[in-house]
Amino acid sequence: MKDDEKYQNLQESQLKEWEASCLRCGACCGTEDGDPCEYLMKLADKDEYYCQIYENRFGLHKTKNGKPFKCVPLRNILHKTWPGDSRCRYKA
C-alpha cells in the first residue's frame, strides 16, 4: 500500500474513532435549550439523536422555531459553552 493510501486510511479510522465517542445526546444541536436544529431527529426507541443531513451539515440552517444559525465543526465550538455541554464526551 502506498504511503498516501496508508495516511488516508489512518485519517479515516481516526475520524471513525472520534465520531464513535459521541453520546448522540444532541445537546450541541439544541436538545437542551428548547429550540433544536430543524434537522435534528430522535431515534424512536432510544434517548439518542441524529442529524438528517449529516454529510452536508455545515452552513446556515434554522431551528425548529425558525431562528437562523450556522452549523460549524464541533472543534470550532469546544471552547464555548452550550446548554447540556457538561455531558459532552469531547469536553470531558
Residues that bind ligand SF4 (CB under 6 A): 22-29, 37, 39-40, 51, 53, 57, 61, 71, 74, 88-90
d(CA 19, CA 67): 27
Determine how many CB atoms are found less than 10 A away from the CB of residue 36.
20
2 vs 66, beta carbon nearer ligand SF4:
66
Q: How many CB atoms lie within 10 A of CB 38?
A: 17
Min. distance of Cβ 66 from ligand SF4 in angstroms? Answer: 14
Please, what is the end-to-end C-alpha distance for the chain in angstroms? Answer: 36
Nearer to ligand SF4, 7 or 69 (CB): 69
CB of residue 85 to ligand SF4, shortest distance in Å: 6
